């Protein structure tokens, strides 16, 4: 039978495995045992669904055998097994090739040196925990013999690496999968023989697979005295070797072990292997509740942003266990959307094993657990913020956007739950602050929490209105996320302090009596000019006015009504929402020479009008550009500029 070729992606990954310089090659065992455990889970789950009573959980076992002479390690499970098609599909194509493509795209691929390549490979192995293919880090030949549950025929898949694989009919007793690894020869700095030693296997299973809930067994050599009679005085008894099947893992779920007996590293290892991550979790929460609904929960906040987090592929949910048995992998009812980054599990003895997904959705108990967990997560985040601000900031940088979406999508309903978790960059502190910290610092007569939306801290710093606010010593929060303003509009206020944008029209109530009066007089004196400017900019602004708040800049653009300039930008980026306009106000700085020159030009009667119109349009375009908006008629702008140059 001819060799079949691996899919391109798989081949590349396989190639990386074979040539890997990854230092933790030992993880292949964890990956293969984890696959075996999954296969047992699947069979059990399937039997629950179909009511098949022939399957007994107590028979489930994972076995490790070694043969030093043949240099082989064999990992056997009596799980669900694979059909011929499944062998081809699952092992001929790597399930995670999508992630591989993603990773490659984002790595700087220009560097083609061997070390750069090796580094990229290591990243990928670490990041995606490549599963089955990791066997090729230690083996030069891999044989998988499998028989699907309920099927009569077995098949054998064999590969010695990138040159392809074969699948052939085979003989096998019982359902399940048997994987034979032929270990590579030892090379400099690489000892593969150790994987055939009982001692090493024991260690690896303790380290990575102890919690696996099925027995991992191995035939181990032991010795005992040959006879029961006591040996002669001063002589050692004569010994004989015998073999005994031993279970190497304690099978005790980590969340059932006594808290004091579990080390941080244990949780970290558990998290990484169970949730396919390569970075330790940033936060671990473990909680047990006895009461109307009793449960234990073990929750993790990832240490970094999962690559697919803000994509449609990302699925929230916690694993659901009933007394240590997995009944659902991603139970959505247990975490709200705004905490969807939390991973982990809930184990409750009150849940029935064969409860269906539909029933779970309506399960009051589950909803109740979900509500408790939500509060628990909230408390933990607050604690984190207090204990380790730097860590919390990193977390907020990664997942803060989701919390803000939560405020927006709940129409402000989740305000009490979420608002005190927010962080914003502060103009005066020049770092991130909480709303509570802002309010604490507020001068007594300050009524509002001021904010300014914009793309980046740097760009916001360049806005005339920011400059002006800073000059006044006003603390302003920078809203640099698209969602910020939308979220804040939903909650409207925090601890009775309303939010106010300094990019919104200069409101009368923000001005002192004198300022108000001065502006009114200025407007009255220049009524004709203001009307002229507004007409010149017809359809682009709803108002042109003088403003006392600008420090140096001649103009700034603000908005009136609910929709801000930043919201206009955001909404226009969404398909189907184009053509949305904020009501713009062009504010003029009466102290600026450019404005004074405009007043003069306009005063020259008909002659000056044409030039005044050009200046007006240029000032407006300048304000648009500073606000990060685009000029809608660049050729007109060019003409206007030339007109002024040649004047």
The residue whose two tokens read 């507004």 is: 534
Least spacing, CB of residue 170 vs ligand ADP, in Å: 15
Query: Which residue's CB is nearer to ligand ADP, number 80 or number 216?
Result: 80
Distances (CA, A) of 554 to 154, 391, 460, 586, 624: 81, 42, 17, 10, 13
Residue in 82, 533, 544, 588 binding ligand ADP, rule: CB under 6 A: 82
Beta strands in 26-69 (DSSP E): 62-67
Query: Which residue's CB is nearer to ligand ADP, number 35 or number 621?
Result: 35
H or E stretch covering 436 = helix 435-441
Least spacing, CB of residue 35 vs ligand ADP, in Å: 3
Site for ligand ADP in 16-55 (CB under 6 A): 31, 35-36, 39
User: Which parts of 145-240 fold into alpha helices (H)?
Assistant: 198-208
Least spacing, CB of residue 139 vs ligand ADP, in Å: 14
Residue in 92, 131, 370, 548 binding ligand ADP, rule: CB under 6 A: 131
How many residues contact ligand ADP, by CB under 6 A?
16
Query: Which residue's CB is nearer to ligand ADP, number 132 or number 494?
Result: 132
Write the Ramachandran bin of 350: left for phi over 0, alpha for psi from -120 to 50, otherwise beta: alpha
Query: Which residue's CB is nearer to ligand ADP, number 132 or number 341?
Result: 132
Site for ligand ADP in 435-474 (CB under 6 A): none
Q: Find, among 17, 176, 143, the residue nearest to 72 by Cα.
A: 143
Query: Which residue's CB is nearer to ligand ADP, number 36 or number 491?
Result: 36
- Rounded Cα distance between 283 and 266, Å, is 13
Q: Does 598 bind ligand ADP (CB under 6 A)?
A: no
Q: List 176's β-bridge partners, or say none.
A: 147
Helix pair 527-536, 606-626: axis angle to 10 deg:
60
- Rounded Cα distance between 540 and 528, Å, is 19
Rounded to 5 degrees, φ, ψ at 453 are -85, 150
Q: Find, among 448, 497, 456, the residue nearest to 476 by Cα.
A: 448
Residues 19-43 as b/e (b if ≥16 CB within 10 A, e otherwise) read bbebeebbbbbbbbbbbbbbbbbeb
Report whether 129 contacts 278 (CB < 8 A).
yes
DSSP 527-559: HHHHHHHHHHTTTT-SEEEE-S--SS-SEEEEE
Least spacing, CB of residue 577 vs ligand ADP, in Å: 39
Least spacing, CB of residue 218 vs ligand ADP, in Å: 17
How many residues comprise the chain? 647
- Rounded Cα distance between 604 and 599, Å, is 9
Query: Which residue's CB is nearer to ligand ADP, number 273 or number 601?
Result: 273
Q: Does 79 bind ligand ADP (CB under 6 A)?
A: yes
- Rounded Cα distance between 379 and 220, Å, is 48
Q: Does 132 bind ligand ADP (CB under 6 A)?
A: yes
Residue closest to ligand ADP, measured at CB = 131
Q: Does 77 bind ligand ADP (CB under 6 A)?
A: yes
Residue in 95, 251, 305, 439 binding ligand ADP, rule: CB under 6 A: 95
Structure tokens at 645: 């140059």
Query: Which residue's CB is nearer to ligand ADP, number 131 or number 454?
Result: 131
User: Which parts of 51-132 fold into alpha helices (H)?
Assistant: 84-92, 97-106, 114-128
Least spacing, CB of residue 87 vs ligand ADP, in Å: 8
Structure tokens at 194: 């150790």
Least spacing, CB of residue 250 vs ligand ADP, in Å: 22
Query: Which residue's CB is nearer to ligand ADP, number 175 or number 401?
Result: 175
Find the part of the chain contacting ligand ADP (CB under 6 A) among 87-95, 200-208, 257-265, 436-444: 87-95
Report whether 372 contacts 294 (CB < 8 A).
no
Query: Which residue's CB is nearer to ligand ADP, number 158 or number 368?
Result: 158
Find the part of the chain contacting ligand ADP (CB under 6 A) among 112-120, 125-133, 343-351, 461-469: 125-133
Site for ligand ADP in 159-178 (CB under 6 A): 177
Which residues are CB-contacts of 606 (< 8 A; sequence separation ≥ 6)?
A: none
Report whether 437 contacts 449 (CB < 8 A).
no
Least spacing, CB of residue 334 vs ligand ADP, in Å: 23
Query: Which residue's CB is nearer to ligand ADP, number 91 or number 476?
Result: 91
Find the part of the chain contacting ligand ADP (CB under 6 A) among 130-138, 218-226, 328-336, 387-395: 130-138
Query: Which residue's CB is nearer to ligand ADP, number 66 or number 177?
Result: 177
Query: Which residue's CB is nearer to ligand ADP, number 178 or number 482?
Result: 178
Q: Does 156 bind ligand ADP (CB under 6 A)?
A: no
Binding site for ligand ADP (CB under 6 A): 31, 35-36, 39, 77, 79-82, 90, 94-95, 131-133, 177
């Amino acid at each position: 039978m001819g060799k079949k070729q691996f899919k391109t992606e798989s081949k590349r990954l396989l190639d990386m495995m074979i040539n890997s310089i990854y230092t933790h090659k030992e993880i292949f065992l964890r990956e293969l045992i984890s696959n075996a455990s999954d296969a047992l889970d699947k069979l059990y789950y399937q039997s629950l669904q179909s009511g098949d009573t022939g399957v007994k959980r107590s028979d489930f076992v994972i076995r490790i055998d070694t043969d030093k002479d043949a240099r082989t390690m064999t990992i056997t499970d009596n799980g669900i097994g694979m059909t011929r098609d499944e062998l081809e599909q699952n092992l001929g194509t790597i399930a995670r090739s999508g992630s591989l493509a993603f990773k490659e795209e984002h790595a700087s691929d220009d560097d083609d040196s061997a070390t750069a390549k090796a580094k990229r490979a290591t990243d990928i192995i670490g990041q995606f925990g490549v599963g089955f293919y990791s066997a090729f880090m230690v083996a030069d030949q891999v044989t998988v013999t499998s028989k699907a549950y309920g099927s009569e025929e077995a098949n054998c898949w064999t590969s010695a690496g990138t040159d392809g694989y074969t699948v052939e009919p085979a003989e096998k007793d019982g359902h399940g999968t048997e994987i034979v690894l032929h270990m590579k020869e030892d090379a400099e700095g690489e000892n593969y023989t150790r994987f055939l030693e009982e001692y090493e296997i024991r260690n690896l299973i303790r380290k990575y697979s102890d919690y696996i809930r099925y027995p991992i067994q191995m035939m181990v050599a032991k010795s005992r005295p040959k006879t029961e009679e006591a040996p002669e005085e001063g002589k050692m008894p004569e010994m004989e070797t015998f073999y005994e099947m031993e279970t190497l893992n304690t099978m005790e779920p980590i969340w059932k072990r006594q808290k004091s007996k579990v080390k941080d590293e244990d949780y970290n290892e558990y998290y990484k292997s169970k949730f396919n991550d390569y970075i330790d979790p940033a936060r671990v929460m473990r909680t047990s509740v006895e009461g109307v609904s009793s449960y234990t929960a073990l929750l993790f906040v990832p240490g970094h942003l999962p690559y697919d987090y803000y994509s449609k592929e990302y699925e929230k949910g916690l694993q659901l266990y009933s007394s240590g048995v997995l009944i659902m992998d991603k139970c959505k009812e247990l975490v709200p959307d705004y905490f969807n980054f939390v991973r982990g599990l809930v184990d409750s003895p009150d849940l029935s094993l064969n409860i269906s997904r539909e029933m779970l959705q309506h399960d009051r108990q589950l909803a109740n657990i979900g509500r408790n967990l939500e509060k628990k997560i909230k408390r933990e985040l607050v604690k984190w913020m207090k204990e380790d601000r730097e860590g919390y900031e990193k977390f907020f940088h990664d997942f803060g956007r989701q919390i803000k979406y939560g405020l927006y999508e709940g129409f402000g309903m989740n305000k009490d739950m979420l608002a005190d978790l927010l962080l914003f960059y502060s103009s005066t502190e020049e770092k991130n602050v909480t709303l509570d910290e802002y309010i604490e610092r507020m001068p007594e007569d300050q009524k509002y929490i001021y904010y300014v939306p914009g793309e980046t801290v740097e760009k916001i710093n360049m806005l005339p209105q920011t400059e002006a606010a800073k000059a006044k010593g006003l603390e302003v929060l920078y809203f640099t996320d698209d969602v910020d303003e939308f979220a804040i509009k939903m909650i409207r206020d925090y601890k009775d302090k309303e939010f106010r944008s300094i990019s919104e029209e200069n409101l009368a109530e923000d001005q002192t009596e004198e300022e108000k009066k001065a502006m009114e007089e200025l407007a009255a004196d220049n009524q004709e000019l203001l009307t002229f400017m507004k007409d010149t900019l017809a359809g682009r602004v709803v108002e042109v006015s003088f403003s006392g708040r600008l420090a140096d800049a001649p103009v700034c653009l603000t908005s009136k009504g609910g929709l801000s300039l930043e919201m206009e930008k955001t909404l226009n980026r969404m398909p189907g929402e184009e053509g949305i306009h904020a009501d713009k106000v062009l504010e003029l700085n009466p102290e600026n020479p450019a404005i004074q020159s405009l007043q003069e030009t306009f005063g020259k009667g008909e002659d000056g009008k044409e030039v005044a119109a050009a200046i007006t349009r240029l000032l407006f375009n300048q304000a648009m550009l500073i606000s990060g908006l685009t000029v809608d008629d660049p050729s007109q702008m060019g003409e206007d500029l030339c007109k002024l140059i040649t004047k």
